[in-house]
Structure 1
């Protein structure tokens, strides 16, 4: 069973990472127009439209893969080999899952940033950053998920030992 201290330390770490990544999305929206507004890149309109459609497609693909991968990793059985981690196995698993989910969700905001730098279309920046932020809000860290993982890991160990 997971202790309150392990749970608190784990959820605090995960929330800290979540807030840092979410704050970076806000920085994209604020700083990108200030820094890249005067930059000139030679990019044809046709090439930009192709890249734009590709990145929007990647954004949808990223959303789907993130959801599927997160769901799979949260439901996967505990590792058979013990790890050298000081964390409870459920906290370690949840931290890994959240890092992957947040990184993939953050990538969608980066797609918007790339499109803004290349095409100066603030709509792309705002829309893809909003989609990224929505995905991050959906995956906001929850104590209940760690507790469910810990319970599942504990019941899995007791079944193996009997």
Structure 2
């Protein structure tokens, strides 16, 4: 069973990481257009369209992959060898899963950032950043998920 202090420390840590990554999305939308307003990279329209299509496809593929990967990692049984960590195994697993899901969701915003820097189309930046933010909100760290994982790990030890 997980202690209340371990649970609280795990949730606080995961939410802190989540907020930092979410804040970076806001920086993309607010600061990047100011920094790259005058920079111009020459790309043919056809090349840009192809790249845009590829990155939007990658964004949707990333969304699907995050969903399956997160489900798989949360459902995977606890390893046989205990990790050398001062954290409860459920907290360590949850932090890892949360980092993977949030990082992959963040990548969608980075796709928009790349498209903005190459084509100066702010619509791409806003759409992909919004999609990234929605995925991150969907995977916001939840106390109940961590408790469920801890209970499952306790049941596996018996």
> What range is the shorter-chain TM-score in?
over 0.9
Task: Give matches, 1:5-154, under 5 Å.
Answer: 5-154=5-154
TM-score (norm 2): 0.99
The superposition leaves residues 106-134 of structure 1 with CA deviations (integer Å, 9 ceiling, x where unpaired) of: 00000000000000000000000000000
Unaligned runs of 5+ in 2: none
Runs of at least 4 residues of structure 1 off by over 3 A?
A: none
Output the CA distance in 1 between the equivalents of 2:153 and 2:141: 19
Unaligned runs of 5+ in 1: none
Instruction: Report SS of the residue matched to 2:118.
Output: helix
Instruction: Report SS of the residue matched to 2:80.
Output: coil
TM-score (norm 1): 0.97
Output the CA distance in 1 between the equivalents of 2:108 and 2:24: 12
CA RMSD in angstroms comes to 0.4
Output the CA distance in 2 between the equivalents of 1:157 and 1:45: 59
Aligned residues: 158
